[in-house]
Amino acid sequence: MTGGARVAVVGGGLAGVAAALRCAEAGLAVTLLESRARLGGVAGSFTRGELAVDTGQHVFLRCCTAYRDFVARIGAADLIMIQERLDIPVLAPGAAPARLRRTGLPAPLHLGGALLRYRHLPVADRFRLVRAALALGAVDRGDPATDARSFGDWLAAHGQGRRAVDALWDLVGIATLNARAGDASLALAATVFQLGLLTDAAAGDIGWATAPLGAIHDDAARRALAAAGVEVRRSARARALVRDGTRPGGRWRVPVGTADGEEELVTDRIVCAVPPGPAERLLPAGALPLPGGWADRLGSTPIVNVHVVYDRRVLGPGTGNGIDAGFAAGVDTPVQWVFDRTGQSGAASVYGPRAQYLAVSLSAADDLVGLPAAALRERFLPALEALLPAAREAVVLDSFVTREPHATFRGAPGQAALRPGPRTVLPGLYMAGAWTDTGWPATMEGAVRSGEAAAEALLADAAAVPAEVAA
């Protein structure tokens, strides 16, 4: 049905890998171009000496079915885990931990008890919070007017004051939207809360990788791509996407820069799966029905991670803070979320069996991304000690900072109009990426969904082309 068409996928993040796998499984000849030496995009890993470091802490929810299926397809299902039941320890300086833990009741009742017992909010605010949560479940996230409104404005209109936003709504939203409530589209926020917390009781259970992300999104992905027959070319940067009207069927030329010089790839169809800025530079003029400068208008938001290695355990069982999980969220503190990365990173073999490696994940980090590492350490090491009493007696063996200046698109009100679908104006050219119109915020789930959507559109169009034209 596809006439043996050749496909070039430009970009080896989750969107590009998902698209390449789907096209190859349908019998197309696929070449995947990735400018970096590894696959995985912003959800990858690197080594710092012998320590395996993720580019950022990435989690997913049980409702992220496309991502979970993707991990299974590349043979890495044994490298992720999901909580049996949503349970988030929430820490504040000088206060006993609170827990946002669901019960076995159906949604939305499954979180009612946890919200009514949430010690970081006054009692009156807890009741108002429950009413607002129920109202959020009825928001039409597909209405353009919903996207045009900020989540913060909607919360204020539903009785949610500054304290409720800081202690609950932003605690969840900032990690999933990479934006604070006042800066986020109501449509994106409604997507997160409706799909993750308000529709299915188990949907919001948190999952994470038990190995470095590179073991999943690079190593396992490359094995799966090779098995599917995909030619993977790393350290290969596409210079442009050129429509070649002189060739039968209207093929495409892709000038490619490699370590050996310049080459050219000729292909029938292209999936462009790179971030917005590179996409606008690569695409031919008029490929998308968007105004010039659309990538800058869509914008980006940074994420910063502060990594700290202690000489002993300071988070989790046996540390005296009542937390039995390997992560926690924070309120009344600059620490948004903190994760135990000891097992995934190989820290025990580097620093000794008693050491613990924590990563502080800081989303919507516009005010932090430009600060020197020393300034970040001065701010966050005392903040960790204020949250984790065991850290006050521990010795810091190592600390460093990682930054993703353009981690995600900016999920501001009105940005949906700048997120294209999988098809472009030009035949044979398709778009993928978490920033495209997936209906989701910029997440691993959205990235995989976009790659699948681009591949499905490509395959449907290829099937409609007579074999003698495609040949």
DSSP string, 342-365: HHHHTHHHHH-TT-EEEEEEE-S-
Angle at the Cα of 274 from the Cα atoms of 400 and 178, rounded to 5 degrees: 50
Cα separation, 129 vs 66, in Å, equals 31
**β-strand partners of 81:** 208
Distances 453 to 8, 32, 198 between C-alpha atoms, Å: 16, 17, 26
Specify the pLDDT at position 87: 95
Mean of pLDDT over the chain = 94
Q: Which residue has the tokens 């060739």?
A: 247
The three-class DSSP label of residue 28 is coil
The rounded distance, in Å, linking the Cα atoms of 271 and 264 is: 16
pTM: 0.95
Q: What is the per-residue pLDDT for 320?
A: 74
Identity of the amino acid at 175? A
Token pair 């999980």: residue = 325
Q: Which two tokens stand for residue 398?
A: 């190592």
- Closest by CA position to 132, among listed 172, 103, 101: 172
CA pair distance 345, 349, nearest whole angstrom: 9
Q: Token pair for residue 210?
A: 């038990």
> Rounded to an integer, what distance in angstroms lies between the CA atom of residue 109 and that of residue 94?
30
> What pLDDT sits at residue 467?
44
User: What tokens appear for 235 in the block?
Assistant: 């350290």
Distance, CA of 267 to CA of 271 (rounded, Å) = 11
Residue ranges in the chain modelled with pLDDT below 50: 1-2, 248, 467-471
Looking at this protein, which amino acid is placed at residue 253?
R
Q: What is the pLDDT of residue 466?
A: 53
Q: Distance between CA atoms of 285 and 307, rounded to whole angstroms?
A: 42
Contacts for 151 with CB less than 8 Å, ≥ 6 apart: 169, 173, 177, 181, 182, 184, 185, 186, 188, 189
Specify the residue for token string 């810091």.
396
Cis peptide before 278 (omega within 30 of 0): no
pLDDT at 239: 97
